[in-house]
Amino acid sequence: MKIFDTSVLRLPLYEERHRRLAARIESWADEISSELGEIERLPPAEMGRRLTALFGEAGWYAAVGGVDTPPDFRSICLIREGFAFIHDLFDFAFSIQALAAASLIQYGSVEQRGALLPDILAGRSIGCLAMSEPQVGSDLANVSLRAERRGESYVLNGTKTWISNADIADFAIVLARTAEGGGPLGLSLFYVSAQTPGAHVSETIEAMAPRSFGSLTLDECTVPAEQMIGKPGHGFKIAGEVLELYRTTVGAAATGFARRARSAALSWARSRRLSTGTVWDMQLTKSKLADSEVALTGSALLVAQAAWEIDQQIRGYGKHSSIAKLFATEQAQRIVDDAVQIFGAAGIVKDAVPERLYRQIRSLRIYEGTSEIQRLIIAAYL
């Protein structure tokens, strides 16, 4: 299966191991295609379980880091782009597990990493990131879920919502307020097992694109103090850093979705007969697809630049991470919309590739900070 733009992969921003990884993703996509029909028939939550286990067995989570290894963001971006091209829930299952592991990899203690990461990276333990609340979206500094210190434990009370993997997760990474007053300095991060008394899924939410999604309520939920990730009061900093790092990968996923839409539109345009030829012969069709190619090339280059800067630990990578995310997601929305237009009525039929992509792409302009938030971040660098 042809997925990646090899002209971008040849650039010095990538190494030979990344080119081998891209080839492996394309080869694996061909291998898994025979099972895709069976997997797609599963309910979204069950599909999430199946895919997380499948990715763990295949070793795809190695790119996100490990007990003693740092993440490789160029590899993560290639995996997300490739998986998004294959199927949206492939990218969803991979990315949510990676996000759930990220804070442990970056800030977890030696004991936490050793005890938790092997099962997470093997896909045996499914995670979720519990940040947002009914009254708090992108503005995490206003998180209100309380974590009260009682002896050697913390007692958590409150509700988190819009949580990906909420109803299938074995654990949650929870941002909670451990100090009095508002603002970011009073927030800490916790690892909370789904089996902890007082922790329960209070709502399942049906999203525009079907997936595991819901709310988590913590009611007198007691967790040992050693399940705090990082230092007390550092939760906002850790959460912000994780989201900033993974913004680039959202741009990669958007590029994968857009590349799939462009590929489908091009095939349709060349095969769809008209009285005067094919849809491809129309000048406006060629214009749309040419614009899509320009946007895809720009997205791939911006993602590669930002991921390279992260891997090289270049200070100020956040600016280019936000640029890559903003540009790629906004352009992907337009490319998918153009694909629907080229397909015409066939593009709005339920579960047709353009219709499915149209529902799937919209959320990427919200995840890891909305497009509006990205513009504010970029402006702050000016």
Residue 127, phi then psi, degrees to nearest 5: -115, 165
| CB of 29 closer than 8 Å to CB of 320 | no
Where b means 16+ CB within 10 Å and e means fewer, 266-279 reads bebbeebeeeeeeb
Structural tokens at position 304: 């590669």
Question: Has 46 been annotated as catalytic?
Answer: no
Catalytic residue among 46, 309, 368, 372, which? 368
DSSP per position, 151-192: TTEEEEEEEEEEEETTTT-SEEEEEEE-SSSSSGGGEEEEEE
| Among candidate residues 63, 172, 170, 67, the one with its CA nearest the CA of residue 126 | 170
Whole-number Å distance between alpha carbons of 270 and 9: 27
Whole-number Å distance between alpha carbons of 335 and 263: 11
| Among candidate residues 63, 86, 104, 79, the one with its CA nearest the CA of residue 239 | 104
| CB of 26 closer than 8 Å to CB of 4 | yes
Torsion sign, CA atoms 34, 40, 41, 44:
positive
Whole-number Å distance between alpha carbons of 354 and 340: 5
Q: What residues are annotated to the active site?
A: 368
